[in-house]
Amino acid sequence: MSIFNLAFKSIRSRKTTFLLTFISIALSVMLLLSVQMIKKEANSGFMQTISGTDLIVGPKSSQIELLLYSVFHIGTPNTLMEYKSYEKIQANPDVTWAIPISLGDSHKGYKVVSTNENFFKHYSFANGKKVEFTQGKVFEDMFHVVLGHEVAKKLNYEVGDNIVLSHGDAEVSFVHHDELPFKVSGIIKPTHTPIDKTLIVTLHAMEAIHTDSHKHFMLRPNKKSQEHNEHHDEKHESAEDNEEIHDEEHHDDGHHEKEFKENISHKLAKKLKKLPRKISAVYVGIDSKSAIFGIQRKINNNTQEPLSAIIPALAVQDLWDFFDIVQITLNIISVLVVFIGLLGMLSLILMGVQHRRKEMAILRSIGATPYDIGKLIVGEAAIVCAISIGLGVAFLYVALFIVSQPLYDTYGFYLQIQPLSLQELAILALIECCAILISFIPAYQIYKRSLIDGMNTQI
């Protein structure tokens, strides 16, 4: 039985006494690691979301605001930019490509992005990956919609299904663009970016449904076009009295129809094929990297319309500089919690020193050196801390496992569960070293005590 073995048995016999120490150190370890991990994962997640886009142009706003709504679909733009500005940007000879995007509508809580075919040609994420399809293809018709992976999965849509978009962001919207249903033309492979949670339609279609909801077409949906609808939505029926909304039977906006019937509204909209006057933002690709800053300056100083051009990589970095403060604060807190946990352990061991003089005398009589007895105490601290660290790591992974799905569902933040990195292992080793280091205090005490006490057991 080595001293270490002895220490292990000693701790095992006092596991209830040390329970709180185990838990407090474990929780602090979990906190410390999760701050590290979430920061790292969030960072790479954010960085992966957009790549290859050299500038994002939007209406005059702060760069973080523009970044958040245009890339991460967080928040909504207060103002819009002219579609003409997009055309001007695209006309710039240095600009390789430009993708207009327009936000604002939703479908069952998922954001709808309207754009043009450039999106599928040029948009890339995660170091240059392009959008690919698991099913179907890019929209060919004005009223085709492409679904993000999660939208299709969660709402159980397939290529060919009909869906109705709603106005605004809310999950439950009373304004449905149901005269102009869309047909699913394709489903995108998982990207682990906000694209997974979006529906992509054409700018023309977006303009059409908005024109229509303002009754510019002066057309009402006719009953016949919807007679095959079997599903009734109570929620919608209760809103029937509202004269703004249709007086006919409402159908479930998520119902599955294999057959897409073009109605008169579709036909009219196609005939008009209007482009929107305003859009939310433009993604810009520039081949000549040296031109980026020049173009950015030019756009920012544009006198015709107040615009902001941001470099996504720098904007993301700025965002992280802000989060750094949060991270540093959390780190300080978790280091303090680790420290408190270790102090708790220290005080428990110190209390034990008095109660264990008898035990030490027995060990001395058997042949243990005072040095052995010091080692026993250090070993105990090492074991307590190691167990706590193990427990903390276990807590961490359980927590990550539990939290990762809701986090993705709510914030679209894809937390990849990964093994501990070298840096994190180094942090754990440091905590263990601290535990061993502070245990030298009681170890030295007990060492000195056992030199004085010897084998005197009548204490």
Partner 1 sequence: MIELNNMQFSWKETLILNIEYFKIEANEKVFIQGSSGSGKSTLLNLIAGVITPQTGDVIINNKHLSTMKSARRDNFRANHIGFIFQQFNLIPYLNLIENIILPCKFSLSRKEKALKYSKSLEEEAIRLLSNLGIKASSVLKRGVSELSIGQQQRVAIARALIGSPEIIIADEPTSALDRAHKDAFVKMLFDECEKENITLLFVSHDESLKSHFKRCISLSSINSVKPEEVE
Give the single-character DSSP code of 72.
S
Q: Is 359 in the site for partner 1 (CB under 8 A)?
A: yes
Q: How far is the CB of 9 from partner 1 (least distance, A)?
A: 5
The correct pick among 365, 405, 418, 421 for binding partner 1 (CB under 8 A) is: 365
Q: In whole angstroms, give the CA distance from residue 234 to residue 250.
A: 9
Does position 94 bind partner 1 by CB under 8 A? no
**Residue from 433, 428, 436 nearest 29 by CA:** 428
Judged by CB under 8 A, the number of residues near partner 1 is 27
User: Residue 375 class from Cβ within 10 Å (0-12 exposed, 13-18 middle, 19+ buried)?
Assistant: buried
Q: Does 371 bind partner 1 (CB under 8 A)?
A: yes
Q: Is the dihedral of CA 218, 224, 228, 233 positive or negative?
A: positive
Which of 313, 328, 362, 394 binds partner 1 (CB under 8 A)? It is 362
**Phi, psi of 114, deg, nearest 5:** -110, 140
Contact 26, 428 (CB under 8 A): no
304 in helix, strand or coil? coil
CB count in 10 Å sphere of residue 422? 7
CB of 358 to partner 1, least distance (A): 6
For residues 191 and 132, give the distance between their C-alpha atoms in angstroms, rounded to a whole number. Answer: 9
Q: Which of 1, 325 has the CB closer to partner 1?
A: 1
Out of 1, 172, 218, 325, the only residue in the binding site for partner 1 (CB under 8 A) is 1
The token pair that represents 264 in the structure block: 């008169």
> Which tokens go with 418?
């990964």
In the complex, what is the shortest distance from the CB of residue 37 to partner 1, in angstroms, rounded to a whole number? 37
134 counts as binding partner 1 under rule CB under 8 A? no
The residue from 91, 172, 218, 366 that contacts partner 1 (CB under 8 A) is 366
Residue from the set 367, 410, 419, 422 that interacts with partner 1 by CB under 8 A: 367
Q: Do residues 344 and 21 touch, judged by C-beta distance below 8 A?
A: yes
Nearer to partner 1, 197 or 364 (CB): 364
Find tokens 């540093």 and name the residue: 328
316, two tokens: 């993301």
Q: Is 377 in the site for partner 1 (CB under 8 A)?
A: no
- For residues 438 to 457, the per-residue mask of contacts with partner 1, x marking binding by CB under 8 A and - elsewhere, is ----------------xxxx
Query: Is residue 10 part of the contact set for partner 1 (CB under 8 A)?
Result: yes
Instruction: CB nearer to partner 1: give 9 or 216.
Output: 9
- Tokens found for residue 102: 């327009």
Distance in angstroms (rounded) separating the CA atoms of residues 229 and 162: 11
If one asks whether residue 9 binds partner 1 (CB under 8 A), the answer comes out as yes
Is the Cβ of residue 42 or residue 381 nearer to partner 1 in the bound state? 381
Q: Measure the CA–CA gap between 346 and 22, rounded to whole angstroms.
A: 12
> Judged by CB under 8 A, which of 12, 84, 137, 216 binds partner 1?
12
Does position 16 interact with partner 1 (CB under 8 A)? The reply is: no
Q: Does 369 bind partner 1 (CB under 8 A)?
A: yes
Q: Is 13 in the site for partner 1 (CB under 8 A)?
A: yes
Contact call for residues 370 and 447 (beta carbons, < 8 A):
yes
Residue of 33, 368, 396, 446 that binds partner 1 (CB under 8 A): 368
Q: Which is nearer to partner 1, 365 or 418 (CB)?
A: 365
- Which residues of this chain interact with partner 1, rule CB under 8 A? 1-2, 6, 9-10, 12-14, 358-359, 361-372, 454-458
